[in-house]
A and B are shown apart, each in its own frame.
Chain A
Amino acid sequence: MTENSYLRTIWKRFKRHRLAMVSLVFLSFVIIIALLAPLIAPYHPDRISGDFGAPPGNGHLLGTDDVGRDVLSRLIYATRISLLVGVLSTAISTAIGVVLGLVSGFFGKFIDAVIMRFTDMVMSFPYLLLVLVAAAIFGPSLLNIIIILGFVNWPGVARLVRGNVLSLRERAFVQGALVAGLPKPYILFSEILPNTMAPVLIHSSSVMAFSILDEAALSFLGMGVQTPTASLGNMLGAATSQAVLTDLPWLWIPPGVVIVLLVMSVNFIGDAIRDAFDPTNPLV
């Protein structure tokens, strides 16, 4: 099977997952809106543009918040932040995890033992607690959150890649390359890495979903993105005050629904990719 027809088969299988197709359309829509935020948002997200706590309608599609900022504009910018955090921190953690997993699985022995025990150590700390502690130490800011989530989230990827490398190392094409005397880094990055990319991609979709949830949780608790910058989490955090929760539901329901839809669509897409790459599934 050529590379091209293989990808076409994958795409055909992916399309069978209807929820994933809906998610793909939704996610593309959200990404476009996030990218074009300055053009689309009706108001400046951080400036006062109306009455305090005005209900939806009257020039403000989703109303205004307790200090008179437009909720829709803040929601658009907040989604931008969430996607940014999700993509960048996933990229960081995947890069760290892939390199550590490759090295660990390929070189084995002492290096493997050291890396895997270190992975065990990091995995033992409850994830959210570790992130909160790091945010308390380094200070909560957008950049710090991205870096912290990236540096905490890699153990899953590392374990996955290591497992794959261990089984790939015994396969004929790698053994052949070894016997032929090809340089080890070349084998590692040109022979083994491409063959482990599919499971990594699937795994990183769930890492991204978790990152978006974690940024929201951190910001909700006041240890993430700080106001006036809007994030889905800190918009929801406003609802910890009883007055906002009861009287201004348009402040916290929309960001909550956006988080759920965003994370669900990332998860559905990941699920469809998993099915599409599963060799036991029929070829369409």
Chain B
Amino acid sequence: MNRGGLLRYILKRLLIAVPVLIGITLIDYLLMNLAGNPIDMLIGPRVTEAAKAAKMAELGLDQPFLVRYWLWLTELMRGNMGYSLMTYQPVAKMIAQNLSPTLLLMGTSMLLSFLISIPLGIYSALKQYTLRDYAIVGTAFLFISIPGFFLALVLVYLFSTKLGWLPSSGMKTLGGAGGMLDTLRHMIMPVLVLAASVTGSNIRYIRSSMLEILQQPYLRTAESKGIGRFKVIGKHAFRNAMIPIVTLIGLQLPMLLGGAVVVEQIFSWPGLGLMTMSAILNRDFPVIMGVSLLAAIAVLMANIITDILYAVVDPTIRYD
């Protein structure tokens, strides 16, 4: 694809995303309305109907749905995501405060997962139908099938309860000196659990994309020229196998975000997931919907970036 084509493609991809983005905010707002009248959430039960109606008119809640949606959207544009029903803090501030521990967890897990799955996936493809291939694929299936919370319980049981090697909850030792090493020790188990969930599907994905590439005629050509197996795989096959791996990053984000909710809950990791789960248990809908909205937008952006990267990396793909 030439430069002009690429630019046009990027522009088109961004344009398609606009209705999706609007749709996401609409779904989010609709869900929030299904959750109940915000007035009942804001004020207690011992308020007269008249006072309720007055408050609703004051907040613009007596308006039709689309008008309310528009009001909400304009507030959202200004960075106002509403207030928590539990802590009365602005939702945007709460999210900002809890974001970095979750990003740390997710980033490390993604990195670890790639470090494990790329070599294993490629090795497994090169040794297709051997005992080692079966062992790797079998392990991948185990990782896909094991629920994160069960793996977490097993790890806590082994390494915290029985062996006493690793702390089972939090991000820092209470009353301890803290520091990077302390955080690292707290991170090990949550990262392992989160990484396990995506590593299994990564291995299978990388293995099959590598297998597909190994059958391509240009590899046969390269091999028949006698440039050596290592060079063939390293230079020709690996680089092309990397292209589909780009999509994996986009696919993983929703999985990791969902996984973070469970993992943070079990390990009391003070991040977005823990905050969201306590909001869900307390029916704190402004917080829940704020997080959902942000997560959905993040996933949408990741998908756009993935698509664009794909177009940049792979010149043979044509988009209409």
Contact of A124 with B288 in the complex, beta carbons under 8 Å? no
- The answer to the question of A268 belonging to the interface, with a C-beta cut-off of 8 Å to chain B, is yes
A209 interface residue per 8 A CB criterion: yes
Contact B295 A267 (CB under 8 A): no
**Per-position 1/0 for B139-181, Cβ under 8 A of A:** 0011011111110011011000100000000000000000000
Chain A residues with CB below 8 A from B16, complex form = 117
A21 located at the interface, meaning its Cβ lies under 8 Å from any Cβ of chain B in the complex: no
Q: How far is the CA of A222 from the CA of B266 in the complex (A)?
A: 13
Give Cα A236–Cα B138 distance, bound, in whole angstroms: 24
B174 to chain A, nearest CB (A): 16
A14 within 8 A of partner (CB): no
Beta-carbon contact of A213 and B153 below 8 Å: no
B262 within 8 A of A: yes
Query: Which among B34, B146, B147, B296 is the interface contact of A124 at CB below 8 angstroms?
Result: B296
- For A19, the chain B residues whose CB sits under 8 A away are 138
Q: How far is the CB of B95 from chain A (nearest CB, A)?
A: 13
SS of B interface (majority): helix
Structural contact, A133 and B288, CB atoms closer than 8 A: yes
Q: What per-residue 1/0 map shows which CB atoms of A259-277 lie under 8 Å from chain B?
A: 1100110011001000000
Cβ contact within 8 Å between B27 and A264: no
**A132 to B285 Cα, complex, angstroms:** 12
Q: How far is the CA of A121 from the CA of B259 in the complex (A)?
A: 20
Q: Does A137 contact B (CB under 8 A)?
A: yes
| CB-based contact B153/A129 at 8 Å | no
- Contact present for B265 and A117 (CB under 8 Å): no
Of residues 2 through 41 on chain A, the ones whose CB sits less than 8 Å from some CB of chain B are 19
Residue of B nearest to A206 (CB): B144
Q: How far is the CA of A122 from the CA of B303 in the complex (A)?
A: 13
Q: How far is the CB of B211 from chain A (nearest CB, A)?
A: 11
In the assembly, what is the distance between CA of A118 and CA of B23, in Å? 7
The reply to whether B149 and A260 form a contact with Cβ atoms under 8 Å apart is: no
Residue contact B141 to A267, C-beta cutoff 8 Å: yes
Bound form: Cα–Cα A130–B138 in Å: 30
Nearest 6 interchain pairs by C-beta: A128-B258, A256-B150, A263-B145, A264-B145, A126-B257, A121-B23
Can you sample 6 A-B contacts with CB below 8 Å? A121-B23, A125-B295, A133-B280, A137-B35, A256-B154, A267-B144
